[in-house]
Amino acid sequence: MLLPEFYYFASGPRTTSKERPDSMITKERVTNIPIDCEHNWKEANQDFWCRYLGGSLAILLRHAGYSEEAQYGHWLFLNKVIAPNLGLSLHAQSRWKSFMTDDGGPVELSWEWPVGTETPKIRYSIEPIGPQAGTWLDPYNTSVLGPFNKFLLETLSETAMVWFNHFEKEFCPTQEHFLRMSSEDHSTHHFYAFDLEDDKTTAKAYFFPALRAQEAKMSTLDVICQAISRAPQWRLAGSQALVSFRNFATKPASAKLEFSMLAIDLVEPSLSRVKIYYRCRRTDFESVVHNLTLGERERAAALRQGLESLRALWDALFQVDSQSKTSLPYVNHQTAGILYYAELRPGSSMPSTKIYLPVRHYSVTDQHITTTLSSYFRTSVHHCAVQGYKKTMQSLL
C-alpha cells in the first residue's frame, strides 16, 4: 500500500535583514573576538537548537513508544552532533537560508507510519550549517562538511562514506561556477536524514546535482544517471532498476518533470538504496497515478488497492473530487506541485515509488490535516499509534 510521509516544522521568530545582532561575526569584527566570547556565541546557538528541536523530538519519541533509554540516546546524539551544526538560532539574523523548509529553517521532523501493528518510526532531516556560512569566510557553507562527516563516522558505527565521497565528487560544481550562480538557484548542496530506531540511528545523505548539470551543459537527469552508473559496486546492485527509471523519465509524458535531488544510505555500497527525487507541476490525480506507476498500466493494476486508498486521502486532505480530474489550486512557489521519488534497491529490477503530499501548499489548516490523518490512520495503522499521533499534534500545534 502507498503511504505518504508528512512533515511538520514550526519556525521561531526571525529578525529582518536590516538588524545586526551584537553576536553576529562579521568581516570587520572577526579579528577582535576573544576566544571565550566566540565559544559562548557557539554555545548559545547550540543551546537554542537543543531546546527548540530537542523539545519537539522528545514529544515525538515519547508518543511513538520509544523506550526511555532510546529517547535519551537520541537526545544525546542531537545534543552532541546535530545541534552544534545547525548554524545561528532562529532568533538571530540568518545569513544562510536553507532550502530544507520554505521559511529557511534547517530542520524537518517526520513520522514513518507502517501498516498493521508495527510502531511508527521517528525521523528528522537537516542541512548542516557552519558558523560562518554565508559570510566572506565561508560563502557557500562548505567548511562544515568534513567535520560533520567525521562526527557521523565516530558516533554511528554502521556509517560508511564510500558512496558519499563518490557522489560529492560527481555533483559538486567548481568554485568558478559557484560565483556564476543565478539568484533563482538555492544555495543548499546537502541534506542529511536520520532514522531513529530503538537501538540505533541510521543516516542518509542528499545531493543537489543541478549546478553541476548547468556547468557541464547536460540535463540534470543525465548527470544523475551518469553518476549512479559510475558508483562503486553499482553494476552489482541495481543497474536494471536504473534502466527502468530512465525509460520512464525520457518518455514524452515525462518531459516536464524536474529532477532535483539524489539520496543514498550512508552504509556500504552493496546495502545502500539510491533515491531519485523528481517534481511534477501537474496536480491532478491522473498525473499522480502516472508518476507513481512510472507510466505502466500493469504496475497500476498491481497497486490498485494502494492507489484507491491514496485517492481517498487525497480527496479528504485537499477537499477535491479527484474523479473529476480537477487540479489543485495554482500556487506560484518553488516547491509547489508534487514531489516524488523512485527508490532503486540492490538486487531489484524495478524502482519503487513514493509521493510527498504537499499539505503546506494545498491544505486549509493544521487542524484539518490532523483530523483527516487521524481518520485515515484508523483504517491502516494500529489504534495506539493513532492516539499517539493525536496527542503529539495537540502538544506541538
**pLDDT over threshold 90, residue 191:** yes
Q: What is the pLDDT of residue 25?
A: 25
**pLDDT over threshold 90, residue 172:** no
Helices (H), 123-219: 145-155, 162-171, 175-179, 210-216
Q: Classify residue 272: in a domain, yes or no.
A: yes
Q: Is 80 assigned a ligand-binding role in the annotation?
A: no
Averaged pLDDT, 179-203: 82
How far apart, in whole angstroms, are the C-alpha atoms of residue 348 and residue 245?
12
How far apart, in whole angstroms, are the C-alpha atoms of residue 224 and residue 171?
8
- pLDDT of 311-329, one tens digit each? 999 999 999 998 888 899 9
Q: Classify residue 336: in a domain, yes or no.
A: yes
Question: What is this structure's pTM?
Answer: 0.85
Half-sphere exposure of residue 88: CA atoms within 13 angstroms, side-chain side: 24
Q: Is 215 assigned a ligand-binding role in the annotation?
A: no
How far apart, in whole angstroms, are the C-alpha atoms of residue 96 and residue 19?
15
Q: Is 354 assigned a ligand-binding role in the annotation?
A: no
**pLDDT over threshold 70, residue 383:** no
**pLDDT over threshold 70, residue 192:** yes
Q: Is 27 assigned a ligand-binding role in the annotation?
A: no
Q: Which of 202, 264, 201, 204 is nearest to 238 (CA)?
A: 264
Q: Is 296 assigned a ligand-binding role in the annotation?
A: no
Containing structural domain, residue 127: 6-13+39-396
Q: What is the pLDDT of residue 179?
A: 60
How long a stretch of residues is the chain? 397
How far apart, in whole angstroms, are the C-alpha atoms of residue 93 and residue 91?
7
> What single DSSP character describes residue 81?
I
Number of domains within the chain: 1
Q: Classify residue 385: in a domain, yes or no.
A: yes
The residues with which 352 forms a beta bridge, in sequence order, are 343
Q: Is 230 assigned a ligand-binding role in the annotation?
A: no
Residue type present at position 23:
S
How far apart, in whole angstroms, are the C-alpha atoms of residue 332 and residue 328?
12
For residue 335, give Cα distances in angstroms to 38, 218, 316, 332, 360.
36, 23, 22, 9, 10
What are phi and psi for residue 107, nearest 5 degrees? -135, 140
Q: What is the pLDDT of residue 10?
A: 31
Identify the weakest region by mean pLDDT among 53-67, 169-183, 242-256, 369-383.
169-183
The residues with which 339 forms a beta bridge, in sequence order, are 279, 356
Q: Is 273 assigned a ligand-binding role in the annotation?
A: yes
Q: Classify residue 175: in a domain, yes or no.
A: yes
Q: What is the pLDDT of residue 126?
A: 95
Q: Classify residue 278: in a domain, yes or no.
A: yes
Report the greatest alpha carbon distance in the chain: 67
Q: Is 29 assigned a ligand-binding role in the annotation?
A: no
